[in-house]
Chain A
Amino acid sequence: MSTGNWLDARAGGARLSRRGVLVGGGLLVGGGLLLAGCGGRERPSIESRDVGSDRDRNKRRLREILDRQTEAVKNKDEKAYLADLDSSNSDLVEHERMVFANLRQFEFAEFGYNTRRVAAHGDYTFGPVFRITQLTADESPVGAAPAETFRYRLAPKDGRLVIAEITPASPGDQKDALLSGPPADEAWNMTPLRVVQAADNVWLVGDDSVPDLEKFAAAAAAEAAIVRRLWEGRARFPGDVMYLTRDDDNYRRWFSLGKSSNFLPEISGFQTSRTGVRQNGQVYSDQRAGAAILINLKNIRDYYSGEDPRVTMHHELAHSVTAQLRATPSIISDLGSPTWAVEGFATWATGVRWPSEASRYRSQLRNGLGSFKGLPSSKDFYGAKRSLNYLLGWSVFAYIAQIKGREAAVEFYAQVIPLNDTLEPFVELPIFDGICERTLGTSAGAFLEGWQRFVRRGAGA
Chain B
Amino acid sequence: MTVLVTVAALLAGMLGGGAVGALAGTVTGTPPGSSEPPPMPENFPEGDNRYLPGVTVTLIAKQWLERANSWTCAAEPDPDLERGKYETRCEAPGADISVYAVINHDDDAKVTGIWVACRYRTGSRMCRSLFEKFADALLQSQRELIKPATEWAKKNVDRDSAAVFGGIRMEISLSPHEMQATPWV
Contact = CB atoms under 8 A, between A and B. Distances in A.
Question: A and B, one complex?
Answer: yes
B158 interface: yes
Interface stretch (A124-132, A137-145, A170-178, A221-229): A137-145
Given A279-B160, A287-B122, A143 B174 contact: yes
A6 to B, nearest CB: 14
B12 to A, nearest CB: 12
B159 A143 contact: yes
Given A142-B123, A143-B160, A30 B14 contact: yes
A278 B26 CA distance: 63
A287 B123 CA distance: 11
Contacts of B17: 30
A144 B18 contact: no
B122 A142 contact: yes
Contacts of B157: 141
A1 interface: no
A460 interface: no
Given A278-B175, A287-B121, A287-B122, 13 more contacts: A23-B22, A23-B26, A26-B18, A26-B22, A27-B18, A30-B14, A30-B18, A141-B122, A142-B158, A142-B174, A143-B156, A143-B158, A278-B160
* 6 shortest interchain CB distances as A-B pairs: A143-B159, A26-B22, A27-B18, A30-B18, A142-B158, A26-B18
B77 to A, nearest CB: 30
Interface of A: 22-23, 26-31, 141-144, 235, 278-280, 282, 284, 286-287, 418
24 contacts: A22-B22, A23-B22, A26-B19, A26-B22, A27-B15, A27-B18, A27-B22, A28-B15, A28-B18, A29-B14, A30-B21, A31-B14, A141-B123, A143-B156, A143-B159, A144-B174, A278-B160, A278-B174, A279-B160, A280-B160, A284-B174, A284-B175, A286-B175, A287-B122
Interface in B17-76: 17-19, 21-22, 25-26
B88 interface: no
Contacts of A286: 121-122, 175
Contact of B19 (A27, A142, A143, A418): A27
Nearest to B174: A143
A22 B21 CA distance: 12
A31 B121 CA distance: 85
Given A23-B22, A27-B15, A286-B122, A142 B175 contact: no
Nearest to B123: A235
Contacts of B15: 27-28
A159 to B, nearest CB: 39
Interface in B95-135: 121-123
A183 to B, nearest CB: 21
Contacts of A279: 160
Given A235-B123, A284-B175, A287-B122, A142 B18 contact: no
